[in-house]
Amino acid sequence: MTERDDVRRVCVPLGERSYDVVVGHGAVSELASMLPPMARRAAIVSQAGIPFSIDPGVPYERLDVGPGEGHKTLATVEHLTRAFAVLGLTRNDVVIAVGGGLVTDLAGFAAASWHRGVPVVHVATTLLGMIDAAIGGKTGVNLPEGKNLVGAFWQPVGVICDLDALATLPARERRSGDGEMAKYHFLTGDDLASMGLAARVARCVEIKAEFVAADEREHVGGGRRALLNYGHTLAHALEIATEHALSHGEAVGVGLVYAAELARQLGRVDEDRVAAHRRVVGDEYALATTVRAGVRPDHLVELMARDKKALHGLTFVLDGPSGVEVVADVPEADVRAALFKVVEPRPGTGAG
């Protein structure tokens, strides 16, 4: 990582496709330098209401997508790519995503698909986008059957994390980032909560970059990048089951505690390690460690079985004696037993 007083620069090292992530107040001033030299125009993908303006230094057309996960669909990608056609966007031009993870996922997938790939720059405006979604090249959309089931790997040519964008971030969006930060705590042991904001964001970017460089396309069979999904198997199921009433980070918080409970159920960790998960998630990041009544365990098990990692039965990223690793073929009885530790029963129904 290189830095000056106001900006830190982290490299995602992928050979000739390496790119920088610029973190700091006023980092958006670096945007024009990140555009491909041949770019003559830009399509800026954003959302109405995002209070963050940019000047890419080239002529541009702004294309807004709708708010909420209900708009993270193939239909929205079709809308964007048809707009690219009207704009006459070429392979020498650029797509610029300005927003949170939903925007960068949609814009990245549309860029990967248009002319089989045009450059994309992400300007992340949420904490979750800065430390996770905008980095690493994963793009995708949801289906009714599950989250992020259709997508592509398409690395950006640069990422901007201007901390000024966080000044008006709603509390719920901040919690989404906090859930991912708690995940990084368990992957590295770093005490991120004690760091200042710029150092914390830059360290999370460094961690994500290290995982991406080691396993860019999440090697089939549980490569290193799959560990970034710690807590996410249940989290994605909760997002779908609650129709996104839970934000991503809120769901990840519960998912991290659930992963610890499942690891204890399998004899991989002890109660002290479970307690550490509850302390970090609940106390240090002020996230819920259980989900309230109304979510059916049967539905959650069904959704978790559709998870992208589920190559050999129910598959989870779990803590253990050798650290966090991918564990396949987890018995359904243990999956259900651990669920009862984090899913509060509906009134009058007992544990079911």
- pLDDT higher than 60, residue 347: no
| pLDDT tens-digit series, residues 87-98 | 999 999 999 999
| pLDDT tens-digit series, residues 17-58 | 999 999 999 999 999 999 999 999 999 999 998 878 899 999
Candidates 3.30.420.40, 3.40.50.1970, 3.40.50.10490, 2.30.30.90; correct CATH number of 2-201? 3.40.50.1970
Q: Please give the CATH topology (third level) of the domain spanning 219-339.
A: Dehydroquinate synthase-like, alpha domain (1.20.1090)
Of all residues in the chain, what percent carry a pLDDT higher than 70? 94
User: What is the DSSP annotation of 169-222?
Assistant: --HHHHHHHHHHHHHHHHHH---GGGS-HHHHHHHHHHHHHHHHHH-TT--TTT
- Please report which confidence band the pLDDT of residue 256 belongs to, taking 50, 70 and 90 as the band edges: very high
CATH 1.20.1090.10 in the chain is located at 219-339
Q: What is the residue-averaged pLDDT of the chain?
A: 91
CATH 3.40.50.1970 in the chain is located at 2-201
Active site residues: 116, 138, 180, 208, 218, 225, 229, 232, 236, 248
Q: Within 13 A of 331's CA, how many CA atoms are on the CB side?
A: 7
| pLDDT tens-digit series, residues 277-328 | 999 999 999 999 999 867 899 999 999 998 766 667 899 999 999 999 999 9
